[in-house]
């Protein structure tokens, strides 16, 4: 297994990666508002079907007749799932409504002997009730995704309260009946979902950037483009980009499509299953970008105020930086951040960081220069502590899950076990997270063992 903890080929590349890592702090609030909590209980805009003919991701076409068969199968699965929870159907049967009748789709019909006046016709046990909070807490238990959803809820709540303080209640439009439309916290969550789960990040910068500066993307709604569904087999060419010369936002097909096939784009070639679940409410089975986004605070406290000041000068504070841990570990920018966090005052001083002295003061290196000096191992003790923290983080996070990777895989593949669609999506995301953590754990353990056995610092990551 190749380790992603590799050394940057030079300062320019390293600073570029640090700039990207720093940009995660800027994008943090935007990302946390990407959708309402767990896409508000996995309410996602991922299956936009029109008419009676649609195509699955494998290209197979379903007709109206086959859709009826699929629906019948799903109803039977629902019935079996409820039965295992001791549900009483009260002599009702779920059947397809006759064409031309007052209803459409499926309805409840009286069973043998009929249903008497005053009879109980619905008795659903509590454990079958599905609430947003239950899905969040039970389906994502132990996962960092749960913290993200709680953070998103809190942001929506803050925005809702800010709207009320600003007098938004007096500015609400009136509906068709002339009654004012009230702004509720749920409405704010819905609005955030609609806006940010369907928006694109585009570089609309028209002015030439100064050397070393980074262009900030603009969040934009792009009609028509937001109707395409995601496929993880689509690459960067299928991501929407803005062409400065033509003034047109475009994307390219990643393969040839036959007539009648659904055409896909990419919501981002590096989108992990957990990111897809949180931002769009689904996980496609072909996605293998196993990773987990974590706050830097999980790596433990920084060693001193001097360490804290250096990280803040880089825009990567302990309480604001986010990093990605993949099946191959972490990249050199995260390694540099951790080396700085655990460094002693003397190690910071030797690298050129003088606490209390303004950045770029005469005779002293900038924070970026100091940070670059931590892009490679500085000594054995520092590197040992870095690897120990990363290893401990993986072990701690894996222990927080109530189930193991093997148990999740068994549940997903168990014959005869009926799971709600949203539960399946959550399981796929959890499996991906556990794969990333498990593989990284093995990587860090192998490198730490290599270090303790006497390997040179230069040979650790070869």
- pLDDT value for 358: 53
Give CA–CA dist 244/223, Å, rounded: 19
Angle at CA of residue 368, ends 367 and 373, nearest 5°: 100
The confidence band for 45, taking pLDDT boundaries of 50, 70 and 90, is very low
- Average pLDDT of the residues in 220-227: 87
Does the pLDDT at position 129 exceed 80?
Answer: no
- pLDDT value for 218: 85
Does the pLDDT at position 21 exceed 50?
Answer: no
Q: Return the top range by mean pLDDT from 17-21, 56-60, 231-235, 384-388.
A: 384-388
Does the pLDDT at position 206 exceed 90?
Answer: no
- Say if strands 264-265 and 229-230 run parallel, antiparallel, or are unpaired: parallel
Question: Do the Cβ atoms of 224 and 251 come closer than 8 Å?
Answer: no
Name the average pLDDT for the chain.
79
Name the token pair of 301: 């406290």
Question: Domain 38-43+132-280 is of which CATH architecture?
Answer: Alpha-Beta Complex (3.90)
- pLDDT value for 217: 82
The confidence band for 134, taking pLDDT boundaries of 50, 70 and 90, is confident
Does the pLDDT at position 355 exceed 80?
Answer: no
Query: Which CATH number applies to 11-27+287-459?
Result: 3.90.1420.10
The proportion of the chain whose per-residue pLDDT surpasses 90, expressed as a percent, equals: 35
Does the pLDDT at position 347 exceed 50?
Answer: yes
Q: What is the pTM of this model?
A: 0.73
Q: For the stretch 326-343, what's the b/e string if a residue is b when 16 or more beta carbons lie within 10 angstroms of its beta carbon? A: bbbbbbbbbbbbbbbbbb
Phi, psi torsion values for 257, nearest 5 degrees: -115, 140
Give CA–CA dist 403/433, Å, rounded: 12
| Burial environment of residue 81 by CB neighbours within 10 A (0 to 12, 13 to 18, 19 or more) | middle
The confidence band for 237, taking pLDDT boundaries of 50, 70 and 90, is confident
Give CA–CA dist 293/274, Å, rounded: 9
Ranges for all domains in the chain classified under CATH 3.90.1410.10: 38-43+132-280
Does the pLDDT at position 448 exceed 80?
Answer: yes
- Average pLDDT of the residues in 109-138: 82
- 292/105: higher pLDDT: 292
Does the pLDDT at position 462 exceed 80?
Answer: yes
- 240/361: higher pLDDT: 240
Does the pLDDT at position 19 exceed 60?
Answer: no
- pLDDT value for 127: 74
- Average pLDDT of the residues in 102-123: 81
Ranges for all domains in the chain classified under CATH 3.90.1420.10: 11-27+287-459
The confidence band for 91, taking pLDDT boundaries of 50, 70 and 90, is confident
The confidence band for 82, taking pLDDT boundaries of 50, 70 and 90, is confident
Does the pLDDT at position 307 exceed 60?
Answer: yes
Name the token pair of 453: 């056995």
- pLDDT value for 104: 56
- Average pLDDT of the residues in 65-87: 73
Q: Which residues, in sequence order, are CB contacts of 250 under 8 Å at separation 6+?
A: 240, 241, 243
């Amino acid at each position: 297994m190749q380790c992603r903890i590799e050394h940057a080929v030079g300062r320019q590349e390293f600073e570029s990666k640090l700039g990207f890592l720093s940009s995660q702090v800027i994008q943090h609030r935007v990302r946390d508002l990407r959708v309402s909590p767990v896409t508000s209980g996995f309410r996602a805009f991922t299956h936009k079907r029109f008419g009676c003919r649609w195509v699955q991701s494998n290209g197979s076409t379903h007709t109206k007749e086959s859709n009826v068969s699929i629906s019948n199968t799903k109803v039977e699965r629902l019935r079996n799932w409820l039965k295992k929870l001791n549900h009483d159907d009260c002599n009702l049967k779920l059947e397809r409504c006759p064409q031309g009748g007052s209803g459409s789709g499926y309805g409840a019909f009286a069973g043998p002997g009929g249903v008497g006046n005053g009879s109980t016709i619905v008795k659903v046990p509590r454990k079958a009730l599905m609430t947003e909070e239950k899905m969040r807490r039970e389906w994502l238990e132990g996962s960092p995704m749960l913290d993200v959803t709680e953070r998103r809820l809190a942001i929506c709540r803050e925005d809702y309260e800010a709207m009320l303080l600003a007098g938004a209640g007096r500015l609400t439009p009136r509906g068709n009946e002339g009654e004012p439309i009230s702004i509720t916290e749920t409405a704010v969550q819905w609005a955030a979902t609609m806006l940010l789960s369907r928006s694109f990040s585009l570089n609309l910068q028209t002015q030439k950037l100064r050397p070393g500066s980074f262009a900030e993307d603009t969040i934009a709604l792009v009609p028509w483009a937001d109707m395409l569904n995601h496929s993880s087999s689509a690459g960067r060419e299928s991501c929407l980009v803005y062409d400065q010369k033509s003034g047109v936002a475009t994307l390219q097909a990643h393969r040839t499509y036959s007539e009648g096939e659904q055409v896909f784009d990419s919501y981002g070639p590096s989108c992990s299953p957990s990111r897809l679940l949180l931002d769009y409410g689904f996980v496609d089975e072909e996605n293998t970008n196993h990773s987990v986004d974590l706050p830097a605070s999980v790596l433990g406290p920084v060693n001193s105020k001097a360490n804290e000041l250096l990280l803040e000068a880089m825009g990567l504070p302990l309480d604001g930086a986010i990093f990605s841990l993949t099946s191959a570990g972490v990249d050199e920018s995260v390694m540099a951040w951790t080396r700085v966090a655990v460094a002693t005052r003397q190690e910071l001083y030797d690298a050129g960081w003088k606490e209390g002295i303004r950045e770029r003061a005469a005779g002293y290196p900038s924070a970026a220069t100091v940070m670059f000096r931590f892009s490679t191992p500085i000594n054995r003790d520092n590197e040992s502590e870095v690897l120990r923290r990363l290893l401990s983080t993986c072990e701690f996070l894996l222990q927080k899950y109530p189930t193991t990777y093997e148990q999740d895989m068994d549940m997903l593949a168990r014959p005869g076990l009926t799971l709600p669609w949203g539960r399946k999506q959550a399981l796929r995301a959890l499996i991906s997270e556990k794969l990333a953590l498990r593989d990284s754990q093995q990587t860090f353990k192998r490198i730490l063992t290599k270090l303790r056995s006497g390997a040179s610092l230069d040979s650790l990551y070869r």
